[in-house]
Amino acid sequence: MAELFDGYRSNYRDVVQSSIDFSGLPHSFFMRAKADLLRELIADRLGQDKPAMLDVGCGVGSLHPLLRGMVGRLSGIDVSADSIAQARADNRDVDYRAFDGRRFPFADAGFDLVTAICVLHHVAPEEWTQFIHEMRRVTRPGGLVCVIEHNPLNPLTRLAVARCEFDRDAALLGAGKVRKLLATGGLRKIGARHFLLLPWETSPARRIERGLGDLPLGAQYAAYGTA
């Protein structure tokens, strides 16, 4: 997988944008939706200001400028050393590290929030359980593990994945599967929310999405649990 993403260090955003051009929406719209969802989860499930966060599979760090002021200490890891180099160049205030795809390069219980955003579908299914165990290991007791993934029940999501060069071998998994993985990994108070249903960023649109979050309608979903 490292070799796959090393080749997209300089044009990652362009490749993603080309896969979603049919929607008429910019890549930044989807990034802001993820940041908004994380802000709500921090308030609802952590109840603290500026938690220490680890972003697993962070790629080139596209999301991280949107997290400034929302989180405190921010770290990111990825199997692609070239992507990590680009992320460091773009976000000099973030602690980035390359890793081997299995053991996260951090001690136990070091973070309040650990995320994997559109990453798990690139991990071999036989490694999903180990991946979730690692996410929990580096999360402090009472902290939050959050997996954001593509919703395979949404036909437009499937179209975007089919159009994306580096998603051709992706193994999409639904929210129910991720919730089971979180439970197997020892997480508690497990929940899920679908989002990216409406193509607007207005407050009314966000409220509607929150109200429909239990239904598998949105393009993506977040599944989360407490360590």
Mean pLDDT of 146-158: 94
Tokens of 70: 């929302």
Q: Which residues contact 28 (CB under 8 A, 6 or more apart)?
A: none
pLDDT at residue 48 in the model = 85
Amino acid making up residue 189: K
Of the pLDDT bands very low, low, confident and very high (cuts 50, 70, 90), residue 199 is confident
What is the reported pTM?
0.92
pLDDT at residue 6 in the model = 47
Tokens of 27: 């890549």
**Mean pLDDT rounded to a whole number for the chain:** 91
Q: Which residues contact 32 (CB under 8 A, 6 or more apart)?
A: 66, 201
Better-scored residue on pLDDT, 160 or 152: 152
Q: How far is CA 94 from the centre of its chain?
A: 17
**Euclidean distance between CA atoms 99 and 105, whole angstroms:** 7
**Angular region, 186: left φ>0, alpha ψ -120 to 50, beta rest:** left
pLDDT at residue 167 in the model = 76
Of the pLDDT bands very low, low, confident and very high (cuts 50, 70, 90), residue 5 is low
**Euclidean distance between CA atoms 101 and 131, whole angstroms:** 8
Amino acid making up residue 23: S
Mean pLDDT of 80-90: 94
Q: Which CATH architecture has domain 2-226?
A: 3-Layer(aba) Sandwich (3.40)
Q: What is the pLDDT of residues 90-131, one digit of tens each?
A: 999 999 999 998 899 999 999 999 999 999 999 999 999 999
pLDDT at residue 15 in the model = 60
pLDDT at residue 50 in the model = 95
Count of beta carbons in the 10 Å neighbourhood of residue 67: 21
Domain chopping of the chain, boundaries: 2-226
pLDDT at residue 47 in the model = 85
CB distance 142 to 90 below 8 Å: no
Q: Which residues contact 145 (CB under 8 A, 6 or more apart)?
A: 114, 115, 132, 135, 136, 139, 182, 185, 187, 224, 225, 226, 227
Q: What is the pLDDT of residues 14-51, one digit of tens each?
A: 666 777 777 788 889 999 999 999 999 999 999 888 99
